[in-house]
Amino acid sequence: MRAMRIDGVPASPGYAEGPLFELDRPPVAYRRKASPAGEEAALKAAIGKAVRRLTSLTDAADADAAGILEFHIAMLQDDALSGPAIAAIGSGEPADAAWRQALDAEIAGYEASDQDYFRARAADLRDIRDQVLRALSEDSEDAAPPGAILYGTDIPPTRFLETDWSKGGGIALKAGSTASHVAMLARSRGVPMVVGLGDLADKPAGVALLDAEHGGIVLSPSPAEIEAFHQSSSSFAVQQGKAQTFLIQPAVTKAGTPVRVRVNIAYPSDVDGIDIATCDGVGLMRTEFLFGKALPDEETQYHAYRRVLEWAGEKPVTIRTVDAGGDKPVPGFTVEETNPFLGLRGIRLSLARRDIFRVQIRALLRAAIHGNLKVMFPMIATAEEYSQAAALFAEEQAALAARGVAHRLPPLGIMVEVPSVAIAPEAFANVAFFSIGSNDLTQYVMAAARDNGAVAPLNSVHHPAVLRLIASVAAFGREKGIPVSLCGDAGGDPAAIPALLEAGLRDLSVAPPQLATAKAAIADVSV
Ligand code: PEP
Ligand code: MG
C-alpha cells in the first residue's frame, strides 16, 4: 500500500510512532453463557477484573485519587453489593442484566437520600456499575497496546487519564480541538496530539507516524519517510534540549523586561518532577479533576492543596475553586444542559450548590497556613458573584475560628474569561488579582466552542478583538495596582507569547513541559 500523509492541527507537540488503535470501535456485546453457574462465574470474573484494573490505577495515582479508587475497590469487594445480582442470576437473568438491575436499584436509593453525602456516592456507584459492565462485555483487544496512537472522533479525559503513556504513543483525532481540556491534559503530560484529521478512509495495519509538531499523520510509511520522521523527531528533541538551557534561568525579554512564568497543574502529583527553582510558583491549579468521578471530602481536598503549597514553599500557589460544567462534567454535581458552556458552570454552579462549595472553601482556608495561597473564582460574570463567593469565605472563616481550627484567609481573585468582566473590569476594583483565562475568553468573544474542531480557526487568541480585551484588562490592572496574569493555554504557546507581552502582560502560567520553550520564546521578544 502507498504511503499516505493526512494533515491536521497540532494540539500537543511531539512525535509518536506506533500502531493505530481505534477508539470508536463499537462496544462488544455481552455473550450469554450456557447456564446460571456460567453467568455467576462471568460476573465474579468481571468484578475481579474491575478490581485488578482499579488496583493498578491506584498504584500510579496520587494519595487523593488513590483514596477514591480504594473506596471503589472496597465497594466492589463487598458481597452485599453483588448479592442481589447473584440472586437474579439464580432466577435465570443473564449476568449483565442482573448486575445492571441490582446496581440501578442501589443507585436509585442513594439518589433519593436527603443527605448530600449519599447523593454524591450515587456517582461512585454508577462508575462501579459501568466498570463491571465493561469488563463483562469487553474482549481482550479493548486495551490499546503500549505505544499505540489512539485514533478516533474524540477522546474523553477519563480515557486519557487511564492510558499508560510511559511507553510513548500519541493521539490522532478526526475532530477534536486544540483548546479542549483533553488537549490541555496532553500538553501538560507531554503526550503528542493532532486534531482535525477527518476520517482516515484506510487504516492499514502496521506502524503509523504521528507528527504533532507540524500536525499530520503518515500511514503505511515508506523507509524514506520513516527515516525523515526519525530526523524530524530527533531535531525536535535537540530543539527541546536547547530550550532546556532557559529552564533554570528567570525569564527575561530581549529588552531585559522580567516576566514571571508559573505552572498550570490539575493534580497534586503534577508537581512531582518539577524543580520549583524553574518556575515562579503555580499560576493555576484546576481542582475540577480532583472532583473527577466522586466528590472529594474536605480532608482529601485539604491534603491535595497542602501538598502543592508545601512543594512551592514561599512561592505563590493560585488554586481555582471548582470549575465543573462546560466540557468538564462531574457526576453528582453538574447538571444536564443543552448548552453547557453557557450554563451552570464554574462559580455559578458552586453558588447554586453551596453545600459542596463550602467543603472546598474550608479545605482551602485550612490549607492556606501551609504556604503562599491565593484563591480564584472561575467564570465570574458579575461583581455580585464575586461578593457572594467572598462572603462564603468570610462565613467559613468565622466558623473555623469559632471552632479553634487553624486557618488563614487567602487573597481572593477572579478569572477574567467571561467578556462582561474584560469589557467592564471597573466593577471588580476590589478583587486581589485578575487571571485571564484566554481559553474561555476566546471562545466567548469569538462564539467558537473550544471543543469543536469545525470552528477551530475562529477560536484564535490572535484575533484583534481578543488581544484588545487582554490589553485593556492589563492596562486596568496597572492603573489600579491589581496584578494581572494569564493562565490560559496561549501563555505556553511560543507563537502567542509575543502578542501577549505586547498587550502588556508580564505574568504567564503554562503547562509544565512548556516552561523551557515559553522562557525561550520570551527571550526572543523585544518589549
Ligand atoms: C481558561 O479558560 O483559559 C482557563 C485557564 O480555564 P479552563 O481552561 O480550565 O477553562
Ligand atoms: Mg476557563
Q: Which helix (H) or strand (E) holds 41?
A: helix 36-60
- Annotated binding residue at 31? no
Instruction: Return the HEC string of 126-146.
Output: HHHHHHHHHHHHCCCCCCCCC
| pTM of structure | 0.75
Confidence band of 32 (pLDDT split at 50, 70, 90) = confident
Mutation probe of ligand 1 site: the residue of 263, 321, 487, 509 with most atoms within 8 A of C-beta: 487
- pLDDT band of residue 71 (cuts 50, 70, 90) is confident
Question: Is 487 a catalytic site residue?
Answer: yes
Q: How confident is the model at residue 169 (pLDDT cuts 50, 70, 90)?
A: very high
| Cell, residue 178 | 486544540
Which atom of ligand 1 lies nearest, measured to the CA of 378? Answer: 6
Closest of 459, 338, 434, 299 to residue 378, by C-alpha: 434
Quick: pLDDT tens for 306-352.
Answer: 999 999 999 999 999 999 998 888 888 999 899 999 999 999 999 99
Domains of the chain (ranges; CATH) run: 4-20+142-242 (3.50.30.10), 36-137 (1.10.274.10), 245-523 (3.20.20.60)
Cα–Cα distances (Å) from 208 to 4, 11, 350, in that order, read: 10, 18, 44
* Residue 212 clears pLDDT 80, i.e. is over it: yes
- Between 2 and 265, residue with greater pLDDT: 265
What separation in angstroms does the CA of 140 have from each of 49, 130, 145, 396? 11, 17, 11, 50
The pLDDT assigned to 201 comes to 76
pLDDT of residue 250: 97
Task: Please list all protein residues whose beta carbon sits less than 5 angstroms from ligand 2, which is an ion.
Answer: 417, 437, 440
Reply yes or no on whether the pLDDT at 62 is more than 70. no
- Of the chain, the percentage scoring pLDDT greater than 90 comes to 67
> Which is the closest atom of ligand 1 to the Cα of 288?
9
Q: How confident is the model at residue 1 (pLDDT cuts 50, 70, 90)?
A: low
Distance from residue 307's CA to the centre of ligand 1 (Å):
22
Q: Single out the residue of 341, 21, 337, 379 nearest to residue 177, CA to CA.
A: 341
- The two beta strands, 4-7 and 372-377, are unpaired
Name every protein residue with a CB atom under 6 angstroms from any ligand 1 atom: 284, 286, 323, 417, 437-440, 487-488
**pLDDT at 11 (0 to 100):** 92
Residue 213 marked ligand-binding: no
- pLDDT in the model for residue 210: 97
Pairing of strands 282-285, 316-320: parallel
Grid coordinates of 487: 493562565
**What pLDDT does 33 receive?**
87
Return the ∠ at Cα 308 (arms to 307 and 312), rounded to 5°.
Answer: 120
Q: Which of 72, 181, 370, 407 is catalytic?
A: 181
For residue range 218-233, list pLDDT tens digits in order: 999 999 999 999 999 9
Confidence of residue 451 (pLDDT cuts 50, 70, 90): confident
Is 439 labelled as part of a ligand binding site?
yes
pLDDT for the residue numbered 291: 84
